[in-house]
Amino acid sequence: MTDLNIAPDHDRLLIIDFGSQVTQLIARRLRELNVYCEIHPFQLVDAAFLKGFAPKAVIFSGGPCSVIDDGSPRPPDAVFELGVPILGICYGQQVMMQMLGGEVTRGHGTAEFGRAYVSPEGRLPLLDGWFKEDKEQVWMSHGDHVARIAPGFEVYGTSPNAPYAITADTARNFYAVQFHPEVHHTPNGAKLYENFVKMAGFTGDWTMGAYREQAIAAIRDQVGDGRVICALSGGVDSSVAAVLIHEAIGAQLTCVYVDHGLMRKNESAEVVGMFREHYNLPLIHADESELFLGELDSVSDPETKRKIIGKLFIDVFEKHAKEIGGAEFLAQGTLYPDVIESVSFSGGPSVTIKSHHNVGGLPEKMGMKLVEPLRELFKDEVRALGRELGLPDSFIGRHPFPGPGLAIRCPGEITRQKLDILREADAVYIDQIRKHGLYDEIWQAFTAILPVKTVGVMGDGRTYDFACALRAVTSVDGMTADYYPFTHEFLGETATRIINEVPGINRVTYDITSKPPGTIEWE
């Protein structure tokens, strides 16, 4: 856990998570309204927590449980005594009704899954801008339903299967809806959140400008005159974290760029050059390509490649940390989705925190404390902060690039010759994508050099060269992906360019596998 506390002066909204798949979307909608919010699992929210957090409003998320069941998740009673507006969504509505004296049942024919239409019943400020037609499309996903609303509540919207689709106790400022306003399929849902935070008195003070100032103050506070070291990869997260920390503490930060010899064409020069030119921050360019490529010689198994690279990375990083006389802090570009504590219904308060941003357990091994100035931010907020800090757009919009680099784009044994050919082919491919204005539409694109040679004919001669595969996918988070539907014209032009411009390749294929069943990378 970090000691950074970045948002103490902001209006804060608390989202109590009951385990819905879409709780993060509630936070996204609120952040888009410049409202600072945090998601906390219900098990960790008690009266003392509420007092400390001091929310200006509370939202109860949806969830997979049934309030009728014994031991089903509940917020603490104290939440209803805070005197702040509360909005309950789906399970959140049901839990609110049950706790405040209403009734929830599991009846026949009242489950609703999917698109539904809500009609108005009277006027409610929460619904300003709604019902321009006489009904609103919403997304329902519930088995149980409210059979009797709690005393003090009135109905403001109904759907064929949810007579209490929208309810409110306007005297206490409690609102409860059966549908999910945060999802795309409730097209006007954002308006409902906008009205809710307006009624709660939020001023929209969560801007990247404000964040930058506060993050800088918090970093100074945490680090004092200590030294910080940061592994810079050239990716968006580590770059933004480094620039922000540099702005806070200047030369107390040293960045280490580990060049494993598996970067793309000109990539190391571009990353190091950009940082040296624009930011003048102490940056060690550790050219360790001989070491990495030597250890990877004759290795063909993908997981063995990853293990070797991961271990060498730590060795190299440690070596440079020692050379600069050690550091007390390690900076990491951990993002909010990685730290949201997930709700488990099986065994007590669960705190599964993903740790894949931890550089191979380095902090524990080296006894360092973490500085994670992006842990409150979503990816698009990190990009906005990067722009605020003056990072060039070309950096901010870069496609993700895996830590093991070209090693996993060179299936089978890695040779320097194959890496050189791959770099050239990939550069032509990415140039084509940029020239056709497609770079920002694509989530990730790259070339893999295949461990197979094929026969071709060029001019009067026979060729016997490598085949390569082009990959381009659309995705939201890399967990699932679809191949990008290039035109045949684009593919034909790109294949011709690669074969003409890249000696060593005489055949180009396009990978049209989705994930699943494929993965994005070839290894």
Point out which residues bind ligand XMP (CB under 6 A).
Answer: 306, 400, 402-404, 444, 478, 515, 519-521
Catalytic residue among 145, 180, 246, 320: 180
By the 10 Å C-beta count (0-12 exposed, 13-18 middle, 19+ buried), 176 is classed as buried
| C-alpha 136 chain-centroid distance | 30
Tokens of 446: 């790259």
CB atoms inside a 10 Å sphere around CB 388: 16
Nearer to ligand XMP, 385 or 520 (CB): 520
Nearer to ligand XMP, 263 or 520 (CB): 520
Catalytic residue among 90, 255, 410, 468: 90
How far is the CA of 329 from the CAs of 222, 223, 368, 507, in angstroms? 10, 8, 5, 49
- Map residue 114 onto helix, strand or coil: strand
Q: How far is the CB of 231 from ligand XMP (least distance, A)?
A: 12
Q: How far is the CB of 37 from ligand XMP (least distance, A)?
A: 28
Q: How far is the CB of 514 from ligand XMP (least distance, A)?
A: 11
Query: Has 213 been annotated as catalytic?
Result: no
- Map residue 254 onto helix, strand or coil: strand
Nearer to ligand XMP, 62 or 403 (CB): 403
d(CA 117, CA 115): 7
Per-residue burial over 494-507, b if 16 or more Cβ lie within 10 Å, else e, is bbebbbeebebbbb
Q: How far is the CB of 22 from ligand XMP (least distance, A)?
A: 22
Nearer to ligand XMP, 305 or 507 (CB): 305
Catalytic residue among 10, 37, 136, 182: 182
Query: Has 180 been annotated as catalytic?
Result: yes
Nearer to ligand XMP, 246 or 409 (CB): 409
DSSP 150-214: PTT-EEEEEETTEEEEEEEETTTTEEEESS-TTSTTSTTHHHHHHHHHHHTT------HHHHHHH
DSSP 484-510: ----HHHHHHHHHHHHHH-TTEEEEEE
Nearer to ligand XMP, 220 or 398 (CB): 398
- What secondary structure, in 3-state letters, does 278-304 show? HHCCCEEEEECHHHHHHHCCCCCCHHH
Q: Which residues contact 182 (CB under 8 A, 6 or more apart)?
A: 22, 25, 26, 28, 29, 89, 189, 193
Q: How far is the CB of 432 from ligand XMP (least distance, A)?
A: 20
Q: How far is the CB of 382 from ligand XMP (least distance, A)?
A: 16
Nearest to 86 by CA among 119, 126, 48, 117: 126
Nearer to ligand XMP, 85 or 403 (CB): 403
Nearer to ligand XMP, 164 or 522 (CB): 522
Query: Has 278 been annotated as catalytic?
Result: no
How far is the CA of 133 from the CAs of 103, 120, 137, 158, in angstroms? 31, 10, 10, 15
Q: How far is the CB of 308 from ligand XMP (least distance, A)?
A: 12
231 DSSP β-pair partners: 256
DSSP 303-323: HHHHHHHHHHHHHHHHHHHHH
Q: Provide the residue type at 61 as one letter.
A: S
Active site residues: 90, 180, 182
